[in-house]
Structure 1
Amino acid sequence: MEEQESASSTYGGKTVEQCESMIQKGLQTPMVRFLRERLEKAGCPVANNFFRAVNCEKNVSGGYIRGEGIIVCVNKIAVQDEVNQVLAHELIHAYDDCCAANLDWTNCAHHACSEIRSNHLSGDCHYKRELLRGHFKIRGHEQECIKRRVMASLSGNPYCSEAAAKDAMEAVWDVCYNDTQPFDRAP
């Protein structure tokens, strides 16, 4: 991924400065505030420089980078809701990294578990989001969406073949899908 060139560089219709403003606004949303507070309570402080707007080469909206923080991809987001969603999703990864003993992102099962949790708990697979993506199914849409998104994410992990990713996801599904920490129940 490329770092930002300057505060006013434009990528995909948004400037880094506009995206940074959207990040600041997103940090005020109830879910993002809640997740940030839980990270702090877990002993993992989150400074404002934990969140960055960058141009991304990969086809992703954002990411969590251990030891660095969360990036939001300037060239892949268009509206505030997308930024809010990226922040919530990636903060769940940060929470997992903070709280899970010996989390190893190169381990397919560990990575799959965090992806299951982040897609489930952030609302990434809410039926309205699925409709906007062109996926329409009355029953089972959420779990189908989570599985699809987990596989897409694991496909970017060089340590996980497609078969290993599928096996890992299936092996950890029940435990990870039902783990709603830091929430009392799935939002």
Structure 2
Amino acid sequence: MAEESAVKSSPTVMGSGGLTVEECEDMIQRSFRTPMVKFLKENLEKTGCAFGDNFIKAVHCDQKVSGGYVAGEGIMVCSNHMDIQDDVNQVVIHELIHAYDECRAANLNWANCAHHACSEIRAGHLSGDCHYKRELLRGYMKIRGHEQDCVRRRALKSVIANPYCSEAAAKDAIKEVWDVCYNDTQPFDRAP
């Protein structure tokens, strides 16, 4: 994990059995055919941040995370925490939103709790991580307000994992940037 550019990652394990790195690499390649991944890739390129073949890689992870974005290096998908194509697609989409945020913000600093919180809020809201069906599968059964609760909960887990952010700092940062970041839907016209 990088020092100054703290690894950005989703703190929950999505799968239980896991894939080999090779199986996961194949699924990453398949994810490029999905409309959401295509859209995000095109918008990264429009913003001036095209990425090469090794920008998204499958890796075996010792930590209990599904993937992460490392500033200046790219996206990792934790093969041993993936089970199905949808898991891989979801991680790729979430992490591409972090890459987009870094590309469009010249001064984004992952060690800054508010910056990190903003990108986590956006990624949770725009990626589909908090879709009702996903929440139901995680055991959260709230009918109203589930999406915002989920985004807050998942953003908090990720920001707390940042070595530069205490739990109190993470909570304060999320509260401070919530309205602006939750309502920032770029590069989408509206939240998908």
TM-score normalised by the chain length of structure 1? 0.93
How many residues in Structure 1 have an aligned counterpart in Structure 2? 178
Query: Is the 8 Å Cα contact of residues 106 and 159 (structure 1) preserved in structure 2?
Result: yes
Task: Verify the 8 A CA contact 1:52 1:72 in the aligned structure 2.
Answer: yes
CA distance in 2, matches of 1:17, 1:56: 14
User: Is the 2:18–2:81 Cα contact (8 Å) retained in structure 1?
Assistant: no
Residues in 2 aligned to 1:32 and 1:109: alpha-carbon distance in whole angstroms:
26
- Tell me which residue corresponds to 2:150: 145
- 1:175 matched residue in structure 2: 180
Match of 1:116 in 2: 121
Letter in 1 for 2:91: V
Give me the whole-angstrom Cα distance separating, in 1, the residues matched to 2:106 and 2:177. 16
What residue number does 1:57 align with? 62
Work out whether 1:23 is the aligned partner of 2:48: no
**Alignment map for 1:46-125 (pairs within 5 Å):** 46-125=51-130
Q: Which moved more, 1:61-70 or 1:11-20?
A: 11-20
Matched letter for residue 150 of structure 1: A
Report the secondary structure of 1:49's partner residue.
Answer: coil
Residue identity in the other structure for 2:157: A
Shift of 1:159: 0.7
Change (3 A) 1:13 1:111: closer
Q: In structure 1, how many angstroms separate the alpha carbons of the residues matched to 2:125 and 2:145?
A: 13
Q: Hey, what does 1:5 align to over in structure 2?
A: none
Counterpart residue number, 1:130: 135
Between structure 1 and structure 2, the one with the greater Rg is 1
The separation in 2 between residues aligned to 1:12 and 1:50, in whole angstroms, is: 25
> How much has 1:30 moved relative to structure 2?
0.3
Q: CA deviation at 1:13?
A: 4.1
Amino acid at match of 1:91: L
Post-superposition CA distance 1:66-94 (Å, at most 9, x none): 11111100111111000000000000000
- List alignment gaps of at least 5 residues for structure 2: 2-15
Query: Which one is further off, 103-112 or 66-75?
Result: 66-75
Structure 1 residue 101, shift from structure 2 partner: 2.7
Deviation at 1:126, TM superposition (A): 0.4
Shift in CA distance, 161/13, structure 1 to aligned 2, threshold 3 Å: closer
Q: Where in structure 2 are the equivalents of 1:26-45 lying within 5 Å? A: 26-45=31-50
CA contact (8 A) 1:12 1:74 kept: no
Alignment match, 1:8: none
**4+ aligned runs moved over 2 Å, structure 1:** none
164, 176, 179: which is aligned to 1:159?
A: 164
The 8 Å contact of residues 93 and 118 in structure 1, kept in 2 or not, is answered as: yes
